[in-house]
């Protein structure tokens, strides 16, 4: 059975789904209207998954609105017995709790649900708007604002370019001023788009100070600073270590050596 471990609303930016064209994920032999789309739109992943399930008859194996609260080993890896897993889940609508035993578990919850916030001096006293890219949706709320975008990776670039069409000024804070040729050309096209080094501190009056000595008075700060790993439901008796930036040990980012093949991880590694 496939079960869902619900997370906060999915981020619009920072996930590979927004960086690929639809046909890349299509399997040979599938017939789908998604082939007609040159670029993915918001509904494309949903349409593809729905057709995929219909094509292979997977719908009856999926439990929607079901939260997995606990996944733990039955027995021990050293016992020599075949490893099994207990899975405790709860149906959202009726509150029914189920405990089942499975031969194998695939953890496919991803890692784009727990926003990572930087530790910047003055964040706690800066009284204006601060959000993570996880909750960003559209640029319109930032019309005519001075916005600082922290991070110049994929989500930072995409959000900055959107904001540049409506904001008064957009200031990108980056670890380095060495950027790709493509981003450099884009920045040159927008007179209101500026690149800075990292933020040194935030001031109570709305001022943002950068390490290069420059500063701006900003209305909003958007942190495009990635995500932390979080697997609160998984109990491996310490055989898998989950910290802010790593899940391991995993062979090929997939199999824990001591627990394979009964436990595996799908799409746990990060894209840079």
Tell me the domains of the chain and their CATH numbers: 2-112+228-265 (no CATH), 129-223 (3.50.50.60)
**Range with lowest mean pLDDT among 21-35, 68-82, 230-244:** 21-35
Whether 211 shows a pLDDT value over 80: the answer reads yes
What pLDDT does 206 receive?
Answer: 97
Q: Identify the band that residue 78 occupies on the pLDDT scale cut at 50, 70 and 90.
A: low
Higher pLDDT residue, 30 or 146? 146
pTM check: above 0.85: no
d(CA 57, CA 154): 35
Torsions phi, psi for 40 (to 5 deg): -70, 140
Give dist(CA 140, CA 220) in Å, integer.
Answer: 13
pLDDT of 199 higher than 90: yes
- pLDDT tier for residue 271 given thresholds of 50, 70 and 90: low
Would you state the pLDDT for residue 198? 97
What end-to-end distance do the CA atoms of the chain give, in Å?
32
pLDDT band at residue 154 using 50, 70 and 90 as cut-offs? confident
């Amino acid at each position: 059975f496939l079960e869902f471990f619900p997370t906060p609303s999915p981020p619009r930016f920072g996930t590979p789904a927004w960086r690929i064209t639809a046909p890349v994920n299509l399997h040979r032999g599938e017939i789908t209207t998604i082939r007609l789309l040159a670029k993915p739109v918001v509904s494309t992943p949903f349409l593809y998954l729905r057709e995929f399930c219909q094509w292979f008859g997977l719908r009856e194996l999926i439990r929607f609105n079901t939260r997995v609260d606990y996944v733990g080993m039955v027995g021990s890896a050293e016992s020599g017995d075949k490893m099994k897993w207990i899975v405790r889940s709860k149906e959202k609508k009726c509150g029914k709790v189920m405990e089942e035993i499975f031969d194998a578990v695939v953890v496919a919850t991803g890692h784009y649900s727990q926003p990572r916030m930087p530790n910047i001096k003055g964040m706690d006293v800066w009284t204006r708007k601060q959000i993570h890219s996880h909750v960003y949706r559209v640029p319109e709320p930032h019309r005519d604002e001075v916005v600082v975008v922290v991070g110049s990776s994929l989500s930072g670039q995409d959000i900055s370019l959107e904001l540049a069409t409506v904001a008064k000024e957009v200031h990108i804070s980056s670890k380095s001023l060495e950027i790709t040729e493509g981003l450099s050309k884009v920045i040159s096209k927008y007179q209101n788009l500026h690149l800075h080094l990292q933020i040194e501190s935030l001031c109570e009056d709305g001022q943002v100070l950068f390490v290069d000595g420059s500063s701006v008075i900003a209305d909003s700060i958007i942190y495009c600073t990635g995500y932390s790993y979080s697997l609160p439901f998984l109990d491996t008796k310490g055989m898998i270590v989950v910290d802010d930036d790593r899940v391991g040990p995993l062979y090929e980012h997939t199999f824990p050596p001591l627990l394979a093949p009964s436990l595996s991880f799908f799409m746990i590694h990060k894209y840079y």
